[in-house]
Chain A
């Protein structure tokens, strides 16, 4: 089955850290550019970070630059998001996403179910 499965979310205090994972199955992960998108409670979609298969990037939203790090382990078919210095406005469902079939690079037709990150004292 083609799918993305996120994990690692939870409750963390302001200033704390979390590491999210996204495990891929059913497609060629090593040949796929990957992206994290988040959605705050009752809010819209916000692009967070993307990593390509080659040497360009990675890329970050200004709101997370210097605090978040995206990485990948192709041998484990897993995407990561290391989140440091977390703030209340980082509270969101974090989705990993990719182009799987009909699409163009950096449009996303395969999404995980998301993992909830809550930053609160």
Chain B
């Protein structure tokens, strides 16, 4: 099983700040990594797939990078609605796994 480790667990930030979230995988997943956003009481929303492709309707302030074992989700300037938990997920091989999440809070 590929283990996804997200860091930090929690980030305390202010609107307008730049955010960089990390996801490291225990073995290479090539570029087969996605990022999701989940707000309290809501279902997860796909932000980025295959490391760097924005999903439909996702604002340009969200970007993804990385390959192999190290990946980054960047939010260029935090909006109030971006405070949420962010998860990474790979699809390199079975079983699929998710990271433990990073909470971005005010």
Contacts and interface: CB of A to CB of B under 8 A. Distances in A.
Interface of A: 35, 37, 44-47, 50, 59-62, 95, 101-109, 111-114
Contacts of A45: 36, 38, 44, 87, 89, 98, 101
Main secondary structure of the interface of A (DSSP, over half): loop
Given A102-B55, A109-B56, A47 B43 contact: no
Could you say which interface size class chain B belongs to? 20 to 34
Interface in B77-106: 85, 87, 89, 91, 94-101
B1 A105 contact: no
B59 to A, nearest CB: 14
B62 interface: no
Interface of B: 1, 32, 34, 36, 38, 43-44, 46, 49-50, 53-56, 85, 87, 89, 91, 94-101
Contacts of B38: 45
B55 A62 contact: no
23 contacts: A37-B44, A37-B98, A45-B36, A45-B89, A45-B98, A47-B98, A59-B94, A59-B95, A59-B96, A60-B95, A61-B95, A102-B53, A102-B55, A103-B34, A103-B49, A104-B49, A106-B96, A107-B46, A107-B49, A107-B50, A107-B89, A107-B91, A109-B56
